[in-house]
A and B are shown apart, each in its own frame.
Chain A
Amino acid sequence: MIEAHGLTKRYGDKLAVDDLSFTVRPGTVTGFLGPNGAGKSTTMRMILGLDAPTSGSVTVNGKPYREHTAPLHEVGALLEARAVHTGRSAYNHLLALAQTSGIPRRRVGEVIEIVGLQDVARKRAGAFSLGMGQRLGIATALLGNPQTLVLDEPVNGLDPEGIRWIRELLKSLADQGRTVFVSSHLMSEMAQTAEHLIVVGRGRLIADTSVEQFIADASGNVVRVRTPAPDAMRSLLAGPDVVITDVDGALHVTGLSSDQIGTAAAGAGLTLLELAPQQASLEQAFMDLTHDSVEYEGVTSTAGPGEQQ
């Protein structure tokens, strides 16, 4: 369980985290989502007591992280920037960290096997690929068999097989009743891994909701209808709460379900070439949500002449 209350971090005159309050509950994977620069890593460093909040507080399993006497048992962390000495082998890196908490040597061997680094454990961590570095970071997080996991962008640099592996790992950890808090800037990734979402932008809380709810809100119940007789279809479907727009030679209907549209079309004897409920792209929904809070925005000129975004 992670609880943040009015968590605020100021660097000079820049607010990196602005009055953030949220609770991360055990037993589910909670995604921490936001564009780059939204304050995710800063928040995670504050959870781990690495950065001190300017104001507000955050506790892990009921206490500020620094007050835990066996911190590796409470929280396992993977931090975004690699936190490994490049000259040391993966094995010795894990061993040195394990020794601070009296974790036995055999646990070091165990976590190396869990993440599949047996073959390279004695090699210098500096020679690791990004994906191997992530696996070592996850091994570090699992070392103390912690109740709570805080992972900053764990899928960065992993290949598809590695991404699937980490998804399953996170879900199994949550199923064991642990608290799993994972940050990402990719909505699609979170939709497949997390059950709950905490969305931030420019350090502020934008949404604290379940993934299901987020998707439902994002979709907006649009149905795509293609027919050889669009004008007849328009007048058939017209109603007070119905909005119909032309998109690529098809009609996008809001306010009616696909069932209602299909039944009405059959009744009127109109041919349907396509009848498809649209799920708005999650990525688009996420971008709409955080649009106003993107820190660094590039300008893309994909719009054709006369078109406006």
Chain B
Amino acid sequence: MTATVTGSAPAQKVTQARVIHSEWTKLRSLRSSLFSLLVAVVFIIGFGILLPAVIAANWPPRNPADRAGFDPTSASLAGVFLAQLAIGVLGVLFITGEYATGMIRATFAAVPRRLPVLWAKAVVFAVVSLVVTVPATLIAFLIGQSLLSSKGIATDLAAPGVLRAVLGTALYLTLVGLLGLGLGALLRNTAATLSTLFGVLLVLPVIVLFLPGGWSRTVGRYLPSNAGQALTTVRPDPHALAPWTGFGLLCLYTAVVLVPAAFALRRRDS
């Protein structure tokens, strides 16, 4: 027993790179994370097939305004609306799952400075999310356009703003997950974090719609979801922020959540 307990190779210093390696192991070793990613891909590609197929089958629409306003890019990227639920859940659970199970204590005992854990989770999540959503949005776009091309209403990646919108969809989804991660680090509770995240992303825009007169548009464009989605459309809503301005604002919101989350993480008992 003596020999085995003493065993091999002592521990070395904790570094940011090692903590990233550890967080990658954590993410890939949970069935729930693989499932969330799979669901996101199914939504993105599934709607990329479904909506263009339905539109092509019913083309041309009766209303000429619909024809004029048709945006083939957004038709093939419609899955983002549901995919953000799956990616958001993944971002939230990546941290609240540790609080719920008590794993966070083992994590912080191993990395007592704590902040490397938050940064590692953000980096691992962002990379995994992009590695999954960039190909998924590209595939959804390409399949969608090939379905629309039968009616001559397709676009391609070389058209102005299209590549930006396709990759922007992947970026938007990733930021939604990072926002969830930051909220999770702050609130430490799965249910509270999920309701906050989806309340902000999905419910708030609906509430703002009921604001009187011009308020709805003025306020609406600054909401995280509307701001971020400015990047995902080729023909933006005239009231929306410019694509990169809107996306920048979503990044700012995420930072505004992550910074106090980092302070809280260091200070609070766990």
Contact = CB atoms under 8 A, between A and B. Distances in A.
Contacts of B30: 85, 87-88
Contacts of A110: 4, 7-8
A168 B2 CA distance: 11
Contact of A103 (B9, B32, B98, B101): B9
A309 B31 CA distance: 57
B112 A114 contact: no
Interface residues of A, number: 55
Interface in A72-106: 72-73, 75, 77, 79, 81-89, 92-93, 95-97, 99-104, 106
Contacts of A169: 1, 5
Interface stretch (A62-70, A188-196, A271-279, A298-306): A62-70
A112 B6 CA distance: 14
A172 B29 CA distance: 34
A49 interface: yes
Contacts of A49: 108-109, 112
Nearest to B105: A83
B23 to A, nearest CB: 8
Contacts of A87: 30-32, 97, 101
Contact of A111 (B7, B29, B110, B267): B7
Contact of A84 (B7, B13, B102, B111): B102
A81 B105 CA distance: 9
A145 interface: yes
28 contacts: A51-B270, A52-B267, A68-B112, A71-B14, A71-B112, A77-B109, A79-B102, A82-B101, A83-B102, A85-B97, A87-B101, A88-B29, A89-B29, A92-B26, A93-B103, A93-B106, A96-B23, A97-B110, A99-B21, A99-B25, A100-B110, A100-B111, A102-B13, A106-B9, A107-B8, A110-B4, A145-B7, A172-B5
Interface of B: 1-2, 4-15, 18-19, 21-23, 25-26, 29-32, 97-98, 101-113, 267, 269-270
